[in-house]
Structure 1
Amino acid sequence: MTIPFPIAQVNARPVGLAELAASAVARAPAPDRHDSFPVEAMAALRGAGLLAAPLPEALGGAGLCTPAGTERLRDVLRGIGRGNLAVGRIYEGHVNALALVLRYGSDPVRARLAADARAGHLFGVWNTEPAEPGGLAIGPEADPVLTGAKSYASGAGYVTRPLVTARLPDGRRQMLVVPLDPESRADLSGWRAHGMRASATGTVDFTGLRVNPLDRVGAPDDYYRQPFFAAGAWRFLAVQCGGIEAVLEAHRGHLAATGRGADPHQRARLGQAATAAETARLFVERAGHMATAEPVSGDRAVAYVALARGAVERAGLDAIELAQRSVGLSGFLEAHPLERLARDLATYLRQPAPDGALAGAATYVAESEAPVHALWHDSEPA
């Protein structure tokens, strides 16, 4: 089988990738219907070299997953998020998978999967499992065959190199990148969500697939190793930040188009929404730096990214409410640009364990010996 959307190979460029990403999504808007996938948008990103861009330059990429590439990666994710959050979710999963491969994979595994990325394969991270019939498991070394499924798998049927965790016979979890044929093993019937309809999210059954040695990434339980497991959340926050900016843009555009922008109450709401968007941007900027600067500052980085999660979620919810109050009923009509933007953002803001993340950050603050003003900054400006 061939990959179910066109591939145009263009060398990844370290300059202007954020602009390339934003323009690619703008040229190929994603559909907004159940059981759909942003085929044209992903093809445009691929053609712009964005699928290979997370790789280091030595492996044919632009180094977006290196500490030096953090700012460019942040801007790429924000730009795609502004264009379409479903596309942003899928691309962020691709980046996340490659980041894990680059960090934990052996040299042969890295080389093999980098070649797949350059060839146009779409990666993703699928870790959630259905309660029934059970999670993904791998047989013993003598017969390493998979049984079970992953659920809430974005890009199901289109991601051909998913990174998954599978339970070993001893109970530990092994990362695998399992080659899949396109349009195979995916069931999208359960994804009837309020927003993010074009993310092709579903359940994928891996039963019967045999694991090869080069499918294994890292040692057992590497996937959950801190601080990278929790601190890596900064990447989806960058996509959400772009979605918040898109909601603000629709809010402002409506006031300009209707001539209502001079009303003091509308101005106040727009100002509050702009504050929310800038709060999200500043938190994402700092979170990305703390999560990727070598050496990563461990518990401190995890705590800050957890605070950023709460701040970005709050900013997004505020931006939606303020925009909907300003626009009124027309913002709930399908013809209005705010309708889909608000739906997609509200859905994408629902990330796992927000209360646990906040409690963990609060524990760090409570137990740290550093003064409050130095919790997140080593020194104050002179």
Structure 2
Amino acid sequence: MTFPFEALTACGAELEEEASANDAQAAFPSEGMGRLRELGVLSASLPHTLGGQGFGTGQQNIIGLLHLLRLVGQGSLALGRIVEGHINAIRLIACYGTPDQLARAAADVHDGALFGVWVTEGTTPLRMEQVDGTIRLRGEKIFASGARHVTRALVTARTHDETTRMLLVTLDDGRDVSPVFGGLSGMRGAETGRCDFGAMTLPPDAVIGQEGDYLRQPEFSAGAWRGMAVALGGIERLATLLRLQLAERGRAESPAQQARIGQALIATETAYLWTRKAALIVATQDGRDAGDIVATVNLARIAVERAGLDVIELVQRGLGLSAFTRTNVAERLIRDLATYLRQPAPDETLCEGAAWFTHRDLPRMEDMR
């Protein structure tokens, strides 16, 4: 059975419509998530042996996963963020968990569970303590995407000796969740919030992997390509809106506007090529230097960010004030994309990639087969 990419493409308009309708209230896109679940998007990352498509848990089908994420991103970046977090959690369990833990996760996915990865510390960092055969938690996570809807959260917690472990936490409806202070201007549908884990207890088998696994390279940095794929979908959609709206107004023949359209197309293709390169180097990582993988993905991340920011500027200049009106889907998409592109430590990421390749060549696409 192959993944229904045509059906996913066809539902892009309804995902976009729900994203716009929900934006003002920062409401979670429940209908869109239900539609994606029906299409098998949430189970696609599972291995074939566990009822999935093998998208993301291994090194095969990487390009299929890229296509899936960009299509979701074209319809809704907020949904794309939730789906990417779900896939990230499954990937980490597959990489570092036991076969039984992965099998249980797969069963949960087939039963409708939504996974997420929450690692950003709040005022009170999340800590774990082993007492009487159980794990007790105290502390919080902030910027937790899907805070009220994720039912299986993969979190990082500090131990008494200040090492970091991964835990898979089953969440119920009684969780203590509050919005991000002040709220976010974009990606509002992702329902990003703060979750307090105080007084929660877990069984010993909630621990995933060994100490330090979450930050282990190249997996820690290499996974950023999936976020690029979601952003790519938003960039593609925004460039399309520029072309369509200029044509509708009869302004697409203006030389200045044609130049903007051309620049937007160049930026979009640049984002695609760098995202594909990052995905392929992850897919062909066996036998490669981990530094090559990390540095390539780091440079790709900055290239995609730059392409997205360029397209945002081109759309705002090309459409003028209409790009700032709430009734224009481009206005929301610009806010969502600008927020989504704001990943941590961009300067450090760029400098690390540049330093690595100062005295060695960047891997070529033709070698990634």
Could you say whether these structures have the same fold, taking a TM-score greater than 0.5 normalized by the shorter chain as the test?
yes
Give the aligned partner of residue 125 of structure 1.
117
| In the alignment, structure 1 residue 69 sits paired with structure 2 residue 61 | yes
Instruction: Find the aligned partners of 1:79 and 1:288 in 2 and give their Cα distance.
Output: 16
Give the residue type in structure 2 aligned to 1:307.
L
Give the aligned partner of residue 292 of structure 1.
283
Aligned residue pairs, count? 361
Residue by residue over 1:72-122, the C-alpha shift from the partner in whole angstroms, topping out at 9 and shown as x without a partner, is 100000001111101101110001010001111111111111111111100
| In the alignment, structure 1 residue 20 sits paired with structure 2 residue 4 | no
Deviation at 1:182, TM superposition (A): 3.5
**Residue segments in structure 2 that go unaligned for 5+ positions in a row:** none
SS in 1 for 2:45: coil
Give the residue type in structure 2 aligned to 1:377.
R
Equivalent of residue 145 in structure 2, options 154, 160, 166: 154
Instruction: Find the aligned partners of 2:36 and 2:228 in 1 and give their Cα distance.
Output: 20
RMSD: 1.7
Deviation at 1:292, TM superposition (A): 2.6
Aligned pairs for 1:354-373 (under 5 A) are 354-368=346-360, 372=361
Instruction: Find the aligned partners of 1:197 and 1:183 in 2 and give their Cα distance.
Output: 22
**Residue segments in structure 1 that go unaligned for 5+ positions in a row:** 1-12
Equivalent of residue 90 in structure 1, options 62, 72, 82: 82
SS in 2 for 1:139: strand
Give the aligned partner of residue 265 of structure 1.
256
Equivalent of residue 139 in structure 1, options 125, 129, 134: 129
TM-score, with length taken from structure 2: 0.94
Give the aligned partner of residue 178 of structure 1.
169
**Shift in CA distance, 310/189, structure 1 to aligned 2, threshold 3 Å:** closer
Give the aligned partner of residue 169 of structure 1.
160
Residue by residue over 1:187-212, the C-alpha shift from the partner in whole angstroms, topping out at 9 and shown as x without a partner, is 12525112111110000011111121
Does the CA-based 8 Å contact 2:324-2:331 persist in structure 1?
A: yes
Deviation at 1:214, TM superposition (A): 2.4
Instruction: Find the aligned partners of 1:166 and 1:314 in 2 and give their Cα distance.
Output: 33
Instruction: Find the aligned partners of 2:95 and 2:13 in 1 and give their Cα distance.
Output: 32
Give the aligned partner of residue 33 of structure 1.
24
TM-score, with length taken from structure 1: 0.91
Instruction: Find the aligned partners of 2:367 and 2:197 in 1 and give their Cα distance.
Output: 52
Instruction: Find the aligned partners of 2:292 and 2:218 in 1 and give their Cα distance.
Output: 9
Instruction: Find the aligned partners of 1:212 and 1:27 in 2 and give their Cα distance.
Output: 41
Residue by residue over 1:219-272, the C-alpha shift from the partner in whole angstroms, topping out at 9 and shown as x without a partner, is 111011000000110000000011000110110011110011111110011100
Deviation at 1:155, TM superposition (A): 0.1
Give the aligned partner of residue 377 of structure 1.
364
**Shift in CA distance, 87/263, structure 1 to aligned 2, threshold 3 Å:** same
Does the CA-based 8 Å contact 1:22-1:76 persist in structure 2?
A: no
Give the aligned partner of residue 234 of structure 2.
243
Give the residue type in structure 2 aligned to 1:231.
A
Give the aligned partner of residue 5 of structure 1.
none
Deviation at 1:330, TM superposition (A): 1.0
Instruction: Find the aligned partners of 2:105 and 2:8 in 1 and give their Cα distance.
Output: 22
